Amino acid sequence: MARTFRHLLLVASTALAGTSLPAHSHQDSDHVHLESTTLAEGLVHPWGMAFLPSGDLVVTERAGGIRVLKKDATLTPRLSNVPEVAAVNQGGMLDITLDPDFEDNNTLYFCFSQPGEGGSSSSVARATYADNGLSDVSVIFSAAPLIDNGFHFGCRLTFDNEGKLFVTLGDRYKYMDEAQNTNNHFGTIVRINSDGTVPTDNPFTEGDAPEVFSYGHRNVQGVTVHPQTGKVWAMEHGPKGGDEVNLINKGANYGWPVITYGIDYSGEVISDKTHKEGMAQPWLYWDPSIAPSGMAFYTGDMFPEWEGDLLVGSLKFTHLRRVEVNNGQPADQHEYLRDNGERIRDVEIAPDGAIYLLTDAPNGKVIKLTRAK
C-alpha cells in the first residue's frame, strides 16, 4: 500500500558551474510544498525505470530482476526469461528503456552486466514484453573487451529523436587511460541502431569500435534527451571531485583522465590539468562530488515553474537536486529529500508531471513527488 507524507521541503541554494559546492549548503527562503508518496518498497537495489503506455512502471533490480509497478501500486513478481547477470559490486541488471514504437511492437531494451569468459561486459538486450515475462530476448551490443572486475559499467540508455539508441559506458575503473582510445568501448558513449547495427554517420566507423560516439568519460550514470533541442546530455561520476554534466557532441573527447576536476580517492593527483585544447569542458561540475545517478529535464504541468530545469539524483548526499537552467546555462541549485537519508539512484518524469525516484538500498523504494494540495 502506498504511504503518503506531506513535507515542507526546504530548498538549499548552491553555487554555479565551475565553482566548489559546500558539502552542507545553507537553506534559503525558497520553500516548496511537495507530497512524497512511497508507492513500493522491498525492491533489491532498484536501478532503472521506464513508464509503459498503460501508466505502469517497469523497474530493474540490480540483483537481476525486472518487475512492474502497476497503477494500483501493486508490484509484480520478477518477470520470467530475464538473462543471467553478473551481480557483483556495481554490476547487475541496470537501466531499461522502451522502443520508440513500443505501442506497436512491445519491445524494450535493458543494459546489464553480462558474464562471460574471463569477466563481464556492459551489454544491451532487446526483448518483447508481456505481462508475466519477456520473449525473443537477444543481446544486440556488448562492450569490448570483457573485464574481470565489478566497477564502472555505466549502462544508462536513451533513444534520441532520430530513433538511435545511446548507451553510456564506464572505464571499468582500472583501465582509465583506455578512455582516450576509440578502438575499444572503455569510457565511451556508444550510438547504435535499434537492432544493434552501427549508424553509417558515427564518427569512428573505420576503427575497431565503430559504435563509439563520444569518449574520454569516466563512469556515465545519467543520460537524457533535451525536450526542446533534442540534444543528448549525460552525467558522469568523477573520482574524488569532478562529477560532470556534459552536452554530448559527435566525436567529442571529454578529457578523462587527461583533464579532470577531481583527484584520486587516495589523495594523489590524477592530472594537474583541467583544460586542454581539443577536449570538451563540462557544462557543470561538482566538487566535492555528489555521486550523481539518473537525470531528466523537467517538462510537465505539475511544476510549470521548473520547466526545462535539470533534475538529478545524488547517491552521496541522499537528495534530489534541481539545477535551474537560465538561457542554456546552469544557475541556482536546490536540494530535496536530503533529510530522508536515502540514496537516489534514478529520476523519471511521469506522464502527468509527477517526479518518480528510485532509492538504492536492499529494501529499495519507488517514491512519487507531487505538488501538495
- The pLDDT tens digits along the chain (373 residues) read 565 544 334 344 333 333 333 222 323 334 668 999 999 999 999 999 999 999 999 999 999 999 999 999 999 999 999 999 999 999 999 999 999 999 999 999 999 999 999 999 999 999 999 988 999 999 999 999 999 999 999 999 999 999 999 999 999 998 999 999 999 999 999 999 999 999 999 999 999 999 999 999 999 999 999 999 999 999 999 999 999 999 999 999 999 999 999 999 999 999 999 999 999 999 999 999 999 999 999 999 999 999 999 999 999 999 999 999 999 999 999 999 999 999 999 999 999 999 999 999 999 999 999 999 8
Confidence (pLDDT) at 18: 37
Name residues whose C-beta falls within 8 Å of residue 129's C-beta, 6 or more positions apart in sequence. 52, 58, 79, 106, 107, 108
Q: Do domains 44-146 and 156-288 have the same CATH topology?
A: no
For the chain, domain boundaries: 1-43+297-373, 44-146, 156-288
Name residues whose C-beta falls within 8 Å of residue 11's C-beta, 6 or more positions apart in sequence. 27, 28, 30, 31, 32, 334, 335, 336
CATH superfamily of 156-288: TolB, C-terminal domain (2.120.10.30)
Q: How far apart are CA 282 and CA 125, in angstroms?
A: 30
pLDDT tens column, 214-261: 999 999 999 999 999 999 999 999 999 999 999 999 999 999 999 999
pLDDT tens column, 33-49: 899 999 999 999 999 99
Domain 44-146 has CATH 2.40.10.500: yes
Give catalytic residue positions: 152
Task: Show the CA angle centred on residue 176, arms to residues 358 and 233, nearest 5°.
Answer: 45
Q: Is the C-alpha dihedral spanning 282, 287, 293, 298 positive or negative?
A: negative
Q: How far apart are CA 59 and CA 48, in angstroms?
A: 6
Confidence (pLDDT) at 5: 43
Whole-number Cα distances in Å, 111 to 221, 263, 339: 12, 29, 31
